[in-house]
A and B are shown apart, each in its own frame.
Chain A
Amino acid sequence: MDILRFITAGSVDDGKSTLIGRLLYDSKSIMIDQLEAIEKQSKNKEDGEIDLALLTDGLRAEREQGITIDVAYKYFSTPKRKFIIADAPGHTQYTRNMVTGASNSDLAIILVDARNGVVEQTRRHSIIASLLNIPHVVVAINKMDLVNNSEDIYNNIVIDYAAVATSLGLKDIKYIPISAINGDNIVEKSPVFHWYQGESLLHILENVEVANDINYTDARFPVQYVIRPQTEALHDYRGYAGKVVSGIYKVGDKITVQPAGVESTISAIEIGGKQVTEAFAPQSVVLHLSDDIDISRGDIIVQKDNQPSVENELDVLLCWMGNKPLIAGNKYLLQINSRVTRAVVKEIEYKLDVNSLLKELAPEQAGLNDIVKVKIKTATPIPFDSYKKLRVNGGAILIDETSNVTVGACMIQ
């Protein structure tokens, strides 16, 4: 049994909350008391049917306003898998929230309303899925019941979407006709889509191969903390605690510590206090080196024959998340894994229209939810990989030093 993290992209009108409610309900992840609570609320509404969408509306403020404020996380499991859903809202702050939810997702479900087909919003969600490099996409064509479960309508939407997917370079796309409100094709294959050859949505989610998405080639180990007991018995113990974010490390491997470029050899590896001979992503471990060298939090231990870039000038695709605009020349803190360094956004090259992919060259500033290409200079060289190649060592955040707020998501090119 492993874990699949996925994000659902779509607005309230696409039936996103109903879909999540349906997945939870039909996989028996909703308990009686939770159902009673939403039944009670549903009665306050007009139609009297249980409103599955209420399962995902967390806060009172949201229920009152009928909106979602923030990313909510939902959990369910089947005997095959544990699922973590990042449920991101569909209104104006969507880009920021979807980027947040997408950053940890293995898969995106992109909801399309069968009555409307591929619309501007579908493109926007797909562009974000592609920018964040989500490995798998499921296009769920919903509300099929409202178009008489028409195969023709479904096929036309698939053709339209395939064009979008090609232009964005999205890989591994699956299509499925569903009716979230009726539960058709959600857990079981529904006979109303007798013309559909594929599997049910849950079957797809249970079987999509995610273990292969982990990179076992480019080993990266950001040091989080140095364990030094300094007791009599463990006087010389010095262990580097961190998570193998990618790749494999073995005792005896020749390594380099970046950004200093110092070399050494792995002398021991511990997991939960036990000695092992190798560690792989995404294990949290303690590494020991054969040389007594100066290593601290923020350094990264890599294989000697497989190096990241170490530079202080970065090309970055940036999703701006701050309420105050980004202005070229402003200084921030850049955090990549455990490393924090001062940084200046030197130049905004262009702003990307997330609906059309058109570029507006050299804008003066960028606002909340804008995606811009920028040049960033850091105070010291940082070790990184391109986000496209290695998500776990190519994503960074920008922090406003005066408010301490996270204001930007950087995908280093």
Chain B
Amino acid sequence: MSQHRLDYLDQLESESIHIFREVAGQFERPALMFSGGKDSIVLVHLALKAFRPGKFPFPLLHIDTGHNFQEALDFRDTLANTIGEKLIVRNVADTIKEKNLTEQKGKFASRNALQTYTLLDTIEEFKFDACIGGARRDEEKARAKERIFSVRDEFGQWDPKLQRPELWNTYNGRIHKGENVRVFPISNWTELDIWNYIKRNEIELPSIYFAHDREVLEWQGQLVATSAFIQVDDTDKVAVKKVRYRTVGDMTCTAAVESTAANIDDIIKEIIATKTSERGETRIDDRVSEAAMEDRKKNGYF
């Protein structure tokens, strides 16, 4: 039966497609969270495999903090256009204005916490009952404990002690009015799996994932791009370096890594050799405390 063996990427792909179709079968109004980052780009490709030649049974949704990399935003718009699917964008800046929210202050003032407000408002606006996201369990300790179908209350809150047992490949997406489910089709993929999948399927990515020259400042050993969103002080060491991004989040809380990797093969080599985890190397927001992600999730974050 050797001709009937799937390798690990085919198995992961099939599992993710199955999850996508469960969402389509179980929910009335799902949405696919799409930021233009590599994980959400892989989600879009999996959705194409799950539903073509039909249309997606959901729109793409981006909660734009206003602090994103322009390259990722351009990529987001181009991809949505190319595949002819609807893209909904809601801006954190609008929520801040409407709700009179207070922005963080300081050097790397982030809208990371505020985007949860916009997300919950958008869920209410469109009555979304399921939001599909690209979180992976290998990213972070709190994520390692979350279900593939993760039920959130009307405040979007995750309660790790009240999770539904998830058995076999049977997903229980039944919810009460006002609740919603966060669905994570690539839960079982690792960072390296994502890159190997991108390579095998020749998936295009925004240019910032590949080595390029960029003006950065060094902060506690991390390289943060200079931009209008962060405060550069006279004492900061600013220099142009050859960097790439390993993750793409807000410019205020995503760090670049020094690299000369200009193509997927070189990136994969670097990731195999790296001694630092993806979020540890590139996310300033997780460093706040040991339980930063756990706390954000409990408050409705993805």
Cβ contacts under 8 Å, B55 to chain A = 229
1/0 per residue, CB under 8 A from A, across B280-302: the answer is 11000000001100100000000
1/0 per residue, CB under 8 A from A, across B23-36: the answer is 01100000000000
Q: Could you tell me if B25 and A225 are in contact, using CB atoms closer than 8 angstroms? A: yes
Q: Report the separation of the CA atoms of residues A82 and B188 in the bound assembly, to the nearest whole angstrom.
A: 10
Q: Could you tell me if B275 and A234 are in contact, using CB atoms closer than 8 angstroms? A: no
Q: Could you tell me if B50 and A284 are in contact, using CB atoms closer than 8 angstroms? A: yes
Within 8 A of B (CB), among A264-303: 272-273, 280-284, 297
Q: Could you tell me if B277 and A34 are in contact, using CB atoms closer than 8 angstroms? A: yes
Identity of the chain A residue whose Cβ is nearest the Cβ of B137 in the assembled complex = A73
Cβ contacts under 8 Å, B203 to chain A = none
Identity of the chain B residue whose Cβ is nearest the Cβ of A231 in the assembled complex = B53
Q: Could you tell me if A404 and B175 are in contact, using CB atoms closer than 8 angstroms? A: yes
Q: Could you tell me if B5 and A74 are in contact, using CB atoms closer than 8 angstroms? A: no
CB distance from A372 to the nearest CB of B (A): 16
Q: Report the separation of the CA atoms of residues A97 and B163 in the bound assembly, to the nearest whole angstrom.
A: 11
Q: Known: A225-B21, A321-B165, A338-B25. Is A69-B192 also a contact (CB below 8 A)?
A: no
Cβ contacts under 8 Å, A335 to chain B = 170, 172
Q: Could you tell me if A395 and B6 are in contact, using CB atoms closer than 8 angstroms? A: no
Identity of the chain B residue whose Cβ is nearest the Cβ of A1 in the assembled complex = B8
Q: Among A7-15, A54-62, A341-349, which stretch is in contact with chain B?
A: A54-62
Band of interface residues on A: 35 or more
Identity of the chain A residue whose Cβ is nearest the Cβ of B49 in the assembled complex = A272
Cβ contacts under 8 Å, B175 to chain A = 404
Q: Could you tell me if B25 and A31 are in contact, using CB atoms closer than 8 angstroms? A: no
User: Is A257 an interface position by the 8 A CB rule?
Assistant: no
Cβ contacts under 8 Å, B13 to chain A = 284
Q: Could you tell me if B8 and A82 are in contact, using CB atoms closer than 8 angstroms? A: yes
Q: List, sorted by A's number, 14 A–B pairs whose CB atoms are closer than 8 Å.
A: A32-B280, A41-B290, A58-B142, A69-B160, A73-B144, A75-B190, A100-B167, A225-B21, A272-B49, A282-B15, A391-B168, A397-B167, A404-B176, A406-B164
CB distance from B173 to the nearest CB of A (A): 9
Q: Could you tell me if B6 and A229 are in contact, using CB atoms closer than 8 angstroms? A: no
- Total contacts A to B, CB within 8 angstroms? 180
Q: Could you tell me if B160 and A84 are in contact, using CB atoms closer than 8 angstroms? A: no
Band of interface residues on B: 35 or more
Identity of the chain A residue whose Cβ is nearest the Cβ of B148 in the assembled complex = A73
Q: Could you tell me if A33 and B21 are in contact, using CB atoms closer than 8 angstroms? A: no
Q: Known: A32-B276, A58-B142, A211-B1. Is A284-B18 also a contact (CB below 8 A)?
A: yes
Q: Report the separation of the CA atoms of residues A392 and B170 in the bound assembly, to the nearest whole angstrom.
A: 10
Q: Report the separation of the CA atoms of residues A33 and B222 in the bound assembly, to the nearest whole angstrom.
A: 13
User: Is B17 an interface position by the 8 A CB rule?
Assistant: yes
Task: State the B residues within 8 Å of A (CB).
Answer: 1, 4-8, 10-15, 17-18, 21-22, 24-25, 48-55, 57, 137-138, 141-142, 144-145, 151, 160-161, 163-170, 172, 174-176, 187-188, 190, 192-193, 274-277, 280-281, 290-291, 294
Cβ contacts under 8 Å, A406 to chain B = 164-167, 172
Q: Known: A33-B277, A297-B25. Is A273-B14 also a contact (CB below 8 A)?
A: no
Q: Report the separation of the CA atoms of residues A392 and B172 in the bound assembly, to the nearest whole angstrom.
A: 16
Q: Could you tell me if B172 and A404 are in contact, using CB atoms closer than 8 angstroms? A: yes
Interface centre among B15, B160, B169 (most CB of A within 10 A): B169
Q: Could you tell me if B145 and A282 are in contact, using CB atoms closer than 8 angstroms? A: no
Q: Could you tell me if B50 and A241 are in contact, using CB atoms closer than 8 angstroms? A: yes
Cβ contacts under 8 Å, B276 to chain A = 31-33
Q: Could you tell me if B54 and A100 are in contact, using CB atoms closer than 8 angstroms? A: no
Q: Which 9 pairs, one residue from A and one from B, show the smallest C-beta to C-beta distance?
A: A33-B280, A284-B17, A31-B277, A60-B291, A58-B141, A272-B49, A224-B21, A404-B174, A227-B54
Cβ contacts under 8 Å, B25 to chain A = 224-225, 297, 338
Cβ contacts under 8 Å, A282 to chain B = 6, 11, 14-15
1/0 per residue, CB under 8 A from B, across A391-412: the answer is 1100111010000111001000
Q: Could you tell me if A399 and B167 are in contact, using CB atoms closer than 8 angstroms? A: no
Q: Could you tell me if A77 and B190 are in contact, using CB atoms closer than 8 angstroms? A: yes
Q: Could you tell me if A32 and B275 are in contact, using CB atoms closer than 8 angstroms? A: yes
User: Is A316 an interface position by the 8 A CB rule?
Assistant: no
1/0 per residue, CB under 8 A from B, across A84-102: the answer is 1000000000001101100
Additional pairs, 8, CB under 8 Å, beyond known A73-B137, A395-B167: A31-B275, A69-B160, A75-B138, A104-B168, A224-B24, A227-B51, A229-B55, A284-B15
